[in-house]
Amino acid sequence: MHNPEANDFFPSSLAGTALGMLLPVISPKRRPMFNGAALHSDETIRQIGVVMLFLGTFLWLATVYLSIGGQWPVGWIGGNVDQKFWISVTLYVTVFLLNEWKERI
């Protein structure tokens, strides 16, 4: 508990949680039918969710790599900030917004 590196895997856990939150986004939404036609279509958000699932998997892998001691390439943008934290927060917020968008459809 007193290990200074104990929080190193928080970002990868947060990114993994974001990937789990994508499941409701990519599943079809039950829509009320009106005269046999769906009132709303969620196909666009589902396609974005599938793309985010593949992209998010690579971002999660990047956070795991950085958590186990991997280094960001020298000279890349953001080399002096905690990349794994910001990658995971950005992924989580993006997936959260996708969930909110899906619920409003």
Q: Is the pLDDT of residue 89 over 90?
A: yes
pTM: 0.79
Q: Which two tokens stand for residue 46?
A: 């589902």
Would you say residue 29 lies in a domain?
yes
**Taking 60 as the threshold, does the pLDDT of residue 90 lie above it?**
yes
pLDDT at residue 98 in the model: 94
Domain that holds residue 27: 11-104
Classify residue 3: in a domain, yes or no.
Answer: no
Number of domains in the chain: 1
2 belongs to a structural domain: no
Confidence of residue 85 (pLDDT cuts 50, 70, 90): confident
* Average pLDDT for the chain: 83
Q: Residue 1 — pLDDT band, cuts 50, 70, 90? A: very low
pLDDT beyond 80 at 4: no
Q: Is residue 5 part of a domain?
A: no
For 10-48, the pLDDT digits (tens) are 889 999 999 999 999 998 876 666 665 555 568 889 899
Residue 84 lies in a domain: yes
